[in-house]
Chains A and B, each alone.
Chain A
Amino acid sequence: LAKTTQPISMDSYEGQEVNITCSHNNIATNDYITWYQQFPSQGPRFIIQGYKTKVTNEVASLFIPADRKSSTLSLPRVSLSDTAVYYCLVGDGGSQGNLIFGKGTKLSVKP
């Protein structure tokens, strides 16, 4: 199972774009990359999932280079409510549940 490495914490200011990079050097061919957001005392919330290149939804963008050994979650114009822990996970898209949660990145957005 691919292990992921993320920065432990990041600070930002309201209105800025935030990019959180995750390393997953041992990603397998059939692994997808998924990002979750977790607020205190709540379950993780699915943000975005991708396999390669770029994926964009109404919340974020996910950039995945050709070698897939890393990925970058991009949050446009963050607000105070984006303060949360962000987890990067890799796993078999066909049988989720073997996802291993790392420590995540604690994003603090300041006014």
Chain B
Amino acid sequence: SAVISQKPSRDICQRGTSLTIQCQVDSQVTMMFWYRQQPGQSLTLIATANQGSEATYESGFVIDKFPISRPNLTFSTLTVSNMSPEDSSIYLCSVDSGQGEFFGPGTRLTVL
């Protein structure tokens, strides 16, 4: 299985600011994904991070709010822009190893 790390593990941010979350994998993977898990809820896919091209966003998520970078096959970032308290959530990246999807530890974001 792939080893996935995320930075920061948690943060408390002010309304209107932006936070960039990093996801690092210990091996090259084709598919990387970003999810959100709001308090007490299940996971919701935000987008697929494509290496060398724009991310593919799910319904309800847009690039202006959640810009994503994927500069290589082991790294991706998700930015939560112009944050509001409704963005308070756990953000997780995941990778498809070919034998299932493996998740990072998540980034717990609190927006005041």
Contacts and interface: CB of A to CB of B under 8 A. Distances in A.
Interface residues of B, number: 23
A41 interface: yes
Interface of A: 34, 36, 41-46, 49, 87, 95-104
Given A41-B106, A97-B33, A46 B100 contact: yes
Interface of B: 1, 4, 31, 33, 35, 42-45, 48, 90, 92, 94, 96, 99-106, 108
For the residues of B in contact with A, the DSSP-based class is: strand
A46 B42 contact: no
A98 B45 CA distance: 8
A97 B35 CA distance: 9
Nearest to A47: B100
